[in-house]
Amino acid sequence: MDRERTHEYSPYDDTETCPHMERCEHTDKTAYKEEMAAEIAVPVSGLNRSSRSREESARATRSAGKAAGWTGLIIAIMSWFVWPVLLGISAAFIGFVAFRQGSRGLGIWSITLGLIAATSYLVLIPLYYALT
């Protein structure tokens, strides 16, 4: 594109790639000074951000562990009254997930109560029918 340059060349001149810029005389052509590499560059406080994101990730995992632990405990208690095998094994699995996510106490209680409900049903019901 051959054109006369009446103004001083600016590295921010976008008229060759954006033809609509020449038609707009009222547009300040030096106003477009975006830095595109800033989106890709490593932030200056990169170490603080990574440790902060690790802390946030650990906090979210602990929170999810507590939620899984309470859910497992509720299902384990329900397994003592309704569907002991299905709910007991489910409570043990959810308790294991809670244990792995950092909620150790709730996880152990869920696993223990769920497995006790499931095994007692599987042992006591055949004994009941054998003795009657």
The pLDDT of residue 25: 57
Spatial contact of 49 and 43, defined as CB atoms under 8 Å apart: yes
The pLDDT of residue 93: 96
CA distance 41 to 43: 6
CA distance 1 to 11: 17
Question: For each of the chain's 132 residues, which pLDDT tens digit applies?
Answer: 555 555 555 565 556 666 555 555 555 555 555 555 555 555 655 555 566 777 887 788 788 889 999 999 999 999 999 999 999 999 999 999 999 988 899 999 999 999 999 999 999 998 888 888
pTM of the model: 0.57
The pLDDT of residue 62: 80
The pLDDT of residue 63: 83
DSSP code string of 5-17: --S---TT--TTT
DSSP code string of 50-101: HHHHHHHHHHHHHHHHHHHHHHHHHHHHHHTTS-HHHHHHHHHHHHHHHHHT
Query: What is the residue type of 108?
Result: I
The position carrying tokens 């054109």 is: 3
